[in-house]
Amino acid sequence: MIRTLIVDDEPLAREGLRVRLGLERDIALVGEAGDGPGAVALIRKELPDLVLLDVQMPGMDGFEVLARVAEDCLPSIIFVTAHDRYALRAFEVHAVDYLLKPLDGTRLREAVDRVRRAVAMGQTAPPEGLVNLLASRERRPDPGRARRWAVREDEHFVLLRAEEVDWIEAAANYLRFHARGKVFLLRGTMAALEQSLDPRRFARIHRSTIVNLDRVREIRPEWHGDYDVVLSTGDVLRLGRRYRDSLFR
């Protein structure tokens, strides 16, 4: 049996994969996760043979999940995502497969067949190229860049990590950090905050808004010529014209 995990932040997507994989007699589903940290914990616990992994998820993306578990367990990976911009060409030759949503049942069966052949031949580990590619993608923040903040929650403070932040907005003399499904306050200015952030992870899209680039799902043009930035959280933010070119770059 091929012990398999499903990792996707969309319940309907997990259900669809569960139904399709349930038709495969040698696939044993041993768990599901809906975000990056949950995926890391589940992979370390179950040590699966195969993980069907989304790329863009709350907490951390699919690449970061693999980087976190690489020393403990690096199973065969089938990426299942709605986005073709995430290193599609590179991962088609290194991962088992890279499937785009809406999922094609035939492509999924072909990908699972590749895993079967690898398991039958004793090749349970992914190619060396994938390991090297993951190592090269692992984010190492620049020295001096902010990685965490002590932010106010009610009458106390909590420690908030950079990868947990969805977006940040200015509010008079304060900054509002949107993370963990909540809003946290920190006294400061957008200009000072922008200088302290890792530009590979965060981008300013408006004079009062900074976003985590990993949360950006789409940039949507509007009829009047402006753009909206749609996040994986469902938030829709306005893209200021003066920041448009730098965001696209």
Each residue's pLDDT expressed in tens, for the chain with a length of 249 residues? 999 999 999 999 999 999 999 999 999 999 999 999 999 999 999 999 999 999 888 888 888 888 888 777 778 889 888 776 665 544 544 678 888 888 888 889 988 998 888 777 765 555 554 555 455 544 455 556 778 888 877 777 788 889 899 999 999 889 999 999 999 988 889 999 998 998 888 999 999 999 999 999 999 887 766 899 999 999 999 998 888 888 888
Whole-angstrom distance, CA of residue 42 vs CA of residue 22: 20
What pLDDT does residue 94 have? 61
- Domain(s) labelled CATH 3.40.50.2300 in the chain stretch across 2-137
Give the pLDDT of residue 107. 87
| Euclidean distance between CA atoms 113 and 107, whole angstroms | 10
The neighbouring-strand residues paired with 78 are 52, 97
231: left (phi over 0), alpha (psi -120 to 50) or beta: beta
Q: By the 8 A CB rule, do 193 and 168 touch?
A: yes
Architecture of domain 2-137: 3-Layer(aba) Sandwich (3.40)
CATH number of the domain located at residue range(s) 148-248 in this protein: 2.40.50.1020
DSSP category for residue 162? G
Structure tokens at 126: 């992914």
pLDDT reported for residue 98: 80
Q: What is the pTM of this model?
A: 0.52
pLDDT at residue 102 in the model: 84
- Measured distance CA(69)–CA(79) in Å, rounded: 16
What per-residue confidence (pLDDT) applies to 182?
92
Residue 144: half-sphere exposure toward Cβ, Cα within 13 Å: 4
CB proximity list for 113: less than 8 A, separation 6 or greater: none
88-142 pLDDT, tens digit each: 544 544 678 888 888 888 889 988 998 888 777 765 555 554 555 455 544 455 5
Assigned token pair, 104? 């094609």
Q: Which residue pairs, CB below 8 angstroms and at least 24 apart, start in 196-203?
A: 196/144, 196/145, 196/146, 197/145, 197/146, 197/162, 198/139, 198/141, 198/142, 198/145, 198/146, 198/162, 200/139, 201/139, 201/141, 201/162, 201/163, 202/162, 202/165, 202/168, 203/243, 203/246, 203/247
Give start and end residues of each alpha helix (H) in 35-87.
Answer: 36-46, 62-69
pLDDT in tens, 220-238: 887 766 899 999 999 999 9
Residues carrying CATH 2.40.50.1020, the chain: 148-248
Contacts of 31 (CB under 8 A, 6+ apart): 5, 6, 42, 45, 46, 48
Q: Which pLDDT does position 93 carry in this prediction?
A: 42
**Quick one: pLDDT at residue 246?**
84
Token pair for 178: 């949107």
Q: Would you state the pLDDT for residue 11?
A: 93
Q: What is the pLDDT of residue 17?
A: 95
> What is the per-residue DSSP string for 163-191?
GGEEEEEEETTEEEEEETTEEEEEE--HH
